[in-house]
Structure 1
Amino acid sequence: MRVPIYEAVAHYKRNNELPYTEYFCLGFFSKLSLAEKALTESKNLIGFSDLADDSFSITTHYLNDCAHIGDDVSFEIINNKIYGVWYDYDIDDYYTCSGYIGLFSTLKYAEKAIE
């Protein structure tokens, strides 16, 4: 069973000449309606209220959705916690590249993904 997790995100380009877009995670949610509510509430906050409606989105992730974990995954969210694994590295003094590896229901699974 694949367990969906919904990430509410705000994004914008600070300057159209820059080669990147800035992303702000507004939270991870177990229900789509909660992610939608977070977007609606965030649009009224200072710093986000000037952004266009298309600067907000919801990304669907799936717990433990990585082939290296194997068949023994429980997919159960324990104590309402999930563990995110990302990587990043500096391209130069100004830019850092980062990426998403996965969301996991236990620290054990997250550490296994890092290995």
Structure 2
Amino acid sequence: MKDRKIALNLNCGLDLIGEVLYGKWKIRLLWFIDEGFQRPSELQRKIPGASRRVLNTQLKELEQHGLVSKIIYAQVPPKVEYSLTEFGKTVIPVLSALGKWGDDNEERLRSVILAFPDKLAD
């Protein structure tokens, strides 16, 4: 992981969640692994906008935080699969609720996001 420019702030649950789930692709990775997409190549196809390097970094962080487990099969060519841990499975209902909120408010959220197109490049 990178060296931190800003000190950790773990004063409440939202700080803790942000620390564990912060990353552009982590929520999608958790969701797709829960849906049964376990191999890195499958995840790459589900998230084509992400580089393999970034996905591997974020998968490693999710593994370090105990949300996913990685299985490496001793074969040629090597085979790697990810699965949610029991702890990782507990976040899926939360992600589902957030997704439903996004769906329920899609039009409003989309208009707010598109109102500032210069921010989309950041």
Give the TM-score taking structure 1 as reference length. Answer: 0.26
Q: Which protein has the bigger strand share?
A: 1
Q: Which protein has the bigger helix share?
A: 2
Give the TM-score taking structure 2 as reference length. Answer: 0.25
